[in-house]
Amino acid sequence: MKLAVIGAGSTYTPELVSGLSRERDRIEIGELALHDVDAERREVVGGLAQRMLDKQGYAGGLTVTGELDRALEGADFVLIQIRVGGQAARLRDETIPLACGCIGQETTGAGGLGKALRTVPVVLEIAERVRELAAPGAWIVDFTNPVGIVTRALLDAGHRAIGLCNVAIGFQREIAKALGVEPNRVAVDQVGLNHLTWIRAVHFDGRDVLAELLDERIEALAAADLPPELLRELGVVPSYYLRYFYLEDKVLAEQRTERPRAEEVAEIERELLEMYRDPGLNEKPALLERRGGAFYSEAATQLVTALASDSGAVQVVDVRNGGTLAGLVDDDVVELPARVGANGAEPLPQAPLAPELLGLVQHVAAYERLAASAAVSGDREQATRALLAHPLVGQWPKSSELVELLA
């Protein structure tokens, strides 16, 4: 089996390589192709990947290339993890909205729209080459943000694609650690949209223990400075991305005075790439944990394994709603637990969202529909309507100005 990674110059790639190696007993990768348009990053990261694979006794082939067609030729799985414009573009996404009095964030709000507008067309071009060159029935796994919008654009264009985020597996691992048990004994029922989800149940050995966790470990569950009182009020565990909505004024004030996350990440990446150049390094460095994307490799390898082996494993992924969440349109892309097999991901039945959750989800789902359309068409009026629909923008002067600044 051949797996191609597009955007392999990412500092995440050693994490992915490490994960693939750990899954060798369940999934046999005969060829791994690493593609990136940045020659320097491609060679640095590819060199470390080769040393890691050698240390792990990998017997398959490794191709490191700047030729997209060569990477995609005959691939059974294509993982897309690109960042169009690099960290410089991310910095713009995080800072331009601040001048208009809006949250600056690379996937949420106006910054997320800026990223979608430049990313979706590139991903769709890659997907068309996948359609022409990859193996019959090849799967695209999208880890490129904003995942919900990118996955929607891929599915709208008829591609065989599933979106993937690391938030759910991160919660699962943290909860398992808090309980002192192995992660495979814990399952989180996380539902909503990408970067707009809530955990409504935590199953430990098949028993829902969320109420107990909220009673006994609520401080640990209140991620990203979300008040424990909020979790008690809602009776659920919000994703840390909900802080942009629930604490909008506080976050905006912080962002106006603190160093942008893009600058921090750029600095970490420079350090990581310097480490990766060391010919003696043959495993992922501890610094990679500060980069973000924790447990991405486990999530990606679990998904690829389930698709390849038709295992029916349950995993939180981004797929069409198909009537699963009441109050949303069937073709909305939702993030929730699904049973994964050779034919894709089938969402597990879900109880209706509580009104205080559903209202926000409907609001952002409408934005994502408009944002995906604007990214495909390049229509600035559609982009403005998207920001008018977004609860973190929602005003005509801001929406119009931001589209001009971000497009």
Q: For residues 146 and 117, is the Cβ–Cβ distance under 8 A?
A: no
Two structure tokens written together for 268: 């970490």
Two structure tokens written together for 372: 């995906």
Question: How many Å apart are CA 64 and CA 67, to the nearest integer?
Answer: 9
E strands along 88-206, which residues? 139-142, 161-163, 186-193, 196-204
Question: How many Å apart are CA 134 and CA 356, to the nearest integer?
Answer: 43
Collapse the DSSP code of 237 into the 3-class scheme (helix H, G, I; strand E, B; otherwise coil) and give the result: strand
Q: Residue 296 catalytic?
A: no
**DSSP letter string over 295-340?**
THHHHHHHHHHHHHHT--EEEEEEEE-TTSSTTS-TTSEEEEEEEE
Q: Which helix (H) or strand (E) holds 229?
A: helix 228-234
Amino acid at the residue 340 = V
Q: For residues 146 and 107, is the Cβ–Cβ distance under 8 A?
A: yes
DSSP strand pairing (139-142 vs 161-163):
parallel
Catalytic one of 58, 241, 244, 367: 241
Count Cβ neighbours within 10 Å for each residue of 327-361 and write b for 16 or more, e otherwise.
ebeeebbbbbbbebbeebbebeebeebeeebbebb
Question: How many Å apart are CA 329 and CA 308, to the nearest integer?
Answer: 29
Question: How many Å apart are CA 157 and CA 180, to the nearest integer?
Answer: 44
Residues 6+ apart with CB under 8 A from 322: 330, 347
Two structure tokens written together for 63: 């191709």
Backbone angles phi, psi at 187, to 5 degrees: -130, 130
How large is the angle between the packed helices 39-55 and 13-22, nearest 10 degrees?
Answer: 20
Collapse the DSSP code of 173 into the 3-class scheme (helix H, G, I; strand E, B; otherwise coil) and give the result: helix
Q: For residues 281 and 51, is the Cβ–Cβ distance under 8 A?
A: yes
Residues forming the active site: 241
